[in-house]
A and B are shown apart, each in its own frame.
Chain A
């Protein structure tokens, strides 16, 4: 390793531990690293990329999906999805845990945000489960883990970021590839809940009559249709992902404001502002990471790392395991978006060399980093979940461990059986 790279890594870690905003950590670390190389003016490397790094029509889908999620969350669609989930899986032993997981999958999918899932599901399901005698820490842990499945089930903003970094992968293919792995992780979490519920003797939920189930299905249908509209629009080639996202905004607006009337006209400026703030947080990360990736490419960091990995082993299975372990470690202290932005380009040469499909690798990276979202010291979803459920991180942590175990088993299946991800995209000709 040369000195500028060491400057970058050390300054980034020091700034990160100090709680400097991560976008600024990345920017300053790059600034000092480029200065350490000398020769070029570092500010002229970092500054332009903050603007040009986000100058992309494909990225425009991100604010739209955020806006769609906000409208749906405040518009009462989340509640209707939970009601439908209750009718489907509430009747079994540990039924509320299933309702929680399925609810998180549905809300996470239509809102494209695990934070939205954990707040809306956690806010209603955790107190409900507490009342029915489920252990509070288990309830929080389950909500947190289940909420991340929404990042694999489309539409998903992190997939748009991944597609941007690789430059060649189609967003539509990624969206399709995420469906089965997302459902798989959800099913694994339900399996773990079933075992825990049986052991601890949690009761069954109420049985919803068929008539009521049908009613609730139609209540949830408008929300579920949104996924179909987005996917159908993109796959049929009528819309680009960004255009489909803008249609999804209109659809969510009509539902929330005109049909359900749960979002009032006067709430709209606040929702638009919140969308702008969330967008700018993501965009600062993207812009700053573009500079850092440029620097690492200029210093041949990706080649050095792939060389180092290949010198340990040239076995595909072993290398994928190593990459997964590295990413699990990275995920504990980096949020998903910066982790994807920084580490995808680092692993690309080796992925290329091994002949791994880039769509498949995208799903591996996202499924892996989902675990990181639930682990301290940086676990955005965990923090929100603990806040919503009024718990304490060190108390919840023990309940998280068995769920991590099943998530990692699911991750290994996703990693070593490419068909889990790739069958659907292949069916649609990708």
Chain B
């Protein structure tokens, strides 16, 4: 098994896991809010945990989903000027962009996120209705950061390989 093959399958596994995770979170969001409507209107005893659960699911969907979206290059940017560059310069720019995204993920989402998680645990913060320690909930930041950094490294490698003439188009 070549090194290249190893990394390729690793990258595919990561995409699959993240993708299934996003699907799961979105499904839970829909089901919990429907359960909230059902318990209030039909059972007349509104469930207390649904609002908080679905909101935290949105937080995880937004933050962890952002990593998957970055992997799919789904985040919007201003392509207008970058599109005017030739292929080579465009790839060089892509390296800089991937580096900046990776830098943001590491500095803000990972280091800043870990500070935030730590503070939440130190101050014994818990969620208002269910009493979950919020430190666990904020773990979405460093987790998402980890995946974004792996994508950044992957993109930088692919673009550099292309620039030295060994990569795929």
Task: State which of B33, B54, B96, B108 has its C-beta within 8 Å of the C-beta of A31.
Answer: B108
User: Of A12-20, A311-319, A398-406, which binds chain B?
Assistant: A12-20
Determine the distance from Cα of A87 to Cα of B45 in the docked complex, in whole angstroms: 47
Closest B-chain residue to A47, C-beta based?
B112
Q: Does B56 contact A (CB under 8 A)?
A: yes
Give the residues in chain A near B167, CB-CB below 8 Å.
none
User: Of A211-219, A244-252, A362-370, which binds chain B?
Assistant: A244-252
Q: Does B79 contact A (CB under 8 A)?
A: yes
A65 to chain B, nearest CB (A): 12
Give the residues in chain A near B51, CB-CB below 8 Å.
57
B37 to chain A, nearest CB (A): 5
Per the 8 Å Cβ criterion, residues 1-43 of A in contact with B are 15-25, 27-28, 31, 41, 43
B14 to chain A, nearest CB (A): 15
Known: A24-B75, A55-B59, A283-B61. A47 touches B108 (CB 8 A): yes
Flag if B30 contacts A67 (CB, 8 Å). Answer: yes
Determine the distance from Cα of A125 to Cα of B62 in the docked complex, in whole angstroms: 34
Flag if B75 contacts A377 (CB, 8 Å). Answer: no
B109 to chain A, nearest CB (A): 6
Determine the distance from Cα of A50 to Cα of B23 in the docked complex, in whole angstroms: 21
Determine the distance from Cα of A48 to Cα of B64 in the docked complex, in whole angstroms: 14
Q: Does B72 contact A (CB under 8 A)?
A: yes
Q: Does A208 contact B (CB under 8 A)?
A: no
Q: Does A236 contact B (CB under 8 A)?
A: no
Q: Does A221 contact B (CB under 8 A)?
A: no
Give the residues in chain A near B80, CB-CB below 8 Å.
376-378
Task: State which of B54, B70, B112 has its C-beta within 8 Å of the C-beta of A48.
Answer: B112
**Interface residues of B, CB < 8 Å — how many?**
57
Flag if A22 contacts B33 (CB, 8 Å). Answer: no
Q: Does B153 contact A (CB under 8 A)?
A: no
Flag if B26 contacts A67 (CB, 8 Å). Answer: yes
Task: State which of B70, B103, B141 has its C-beta within 8 Å of the C-beta of A51.
Answer: B141
Flag if B55 contacts A56 (CB, 8 Å). Answer: yes
B90 to chain A, nearest CB (A): 9
**Which residue, of A31, A246, A250, A269, has the highest number of chain B Cβ atoms within 10 A?**
A246
Determine the distance from Cα of A337 to Cα of B126 in the docked complex, in whole angstroms: 31
Per the 8 Å Cβ criterion, residues 83-141 of B in contact with A are 93, 96-97, 100-101, 103-104, 107-109, 111-113, 115-116, 137-138, 140-141
Flag if B22 contacts A277 (CB, 8 Å). Answer: yes
Flag if A64 contacts B33 (CB, 8 Å). Answer: yes
Q: Does A114 contact B (CB under 8 A)?
A: no
Known: A273-B19, A276-B23, A284-B75. A50 touches B54 (CB 8 A): no
Prevailing SS type, chain A contact patch = helix
Flag if A60 contacts B55 (CB, 8 Å). Answer: yes
Q: Does B156 contact A (CB under 8 A)?
A: no
Give chain A's interface residue range (CB within 8 Å of chain B). 35 or more
Flag if A16 contacts B78 (CB, 8 Å). Answer: yes
Determine the distance from Cα of A17 to Cα of B101 in the docked complex, in whole angstroms: 15
Determine the distance from Cα of A132 to Cα of B66 in the docked complex, in whole angstroms: 43
Flag if B58 contacts A63 (CB, 8 Å). Answer: yes
Flag if A277 contacts B93 (CB, 8 Å). Answer: no
Determine the distance from Cα of A378 to Cα of B112 in the docked complex, in whole angstroms: 31
B82 to chain A, nearest CB (A): 4
B5 to chain A, nearest CB (A): 26
B148 to chain A, nearest CB (A): 9
Flag if A63 contacts B26 (CB, 8 Å). Answer: yes
Flag if A19 contacts B97 (CB, 8 Å). Answer: yes
Give the residues in chain A near B54, CB-CB below 8 Å.
57, 60
Give the residues in chain B near A20, CB-CB below 8 Å.
77, 97, 100-101
Q: Which 6 A-B pairs have the closest CB atoms?
A: A47-B112, A283-B62, A280-B65, A43-B112, A377-B80, A21-B75
**Known interface pairs A17-B78, A18-B96, A19-B81; 7 further A-B residue pairs with C-beta atoms within 8 A, sorted by A's residue number:** A21-B97, A31-B108, A51-B137, A272-B26, A277-B68, A280-B61, A283-B66
- Interchain Cβ contacts under 8 Å between A and B, 9 examples: A20-B100, A31-B104, A44-B112, A50-B63, A51-B140, A60-B55, A63-B26, A63-B29, A377-B80
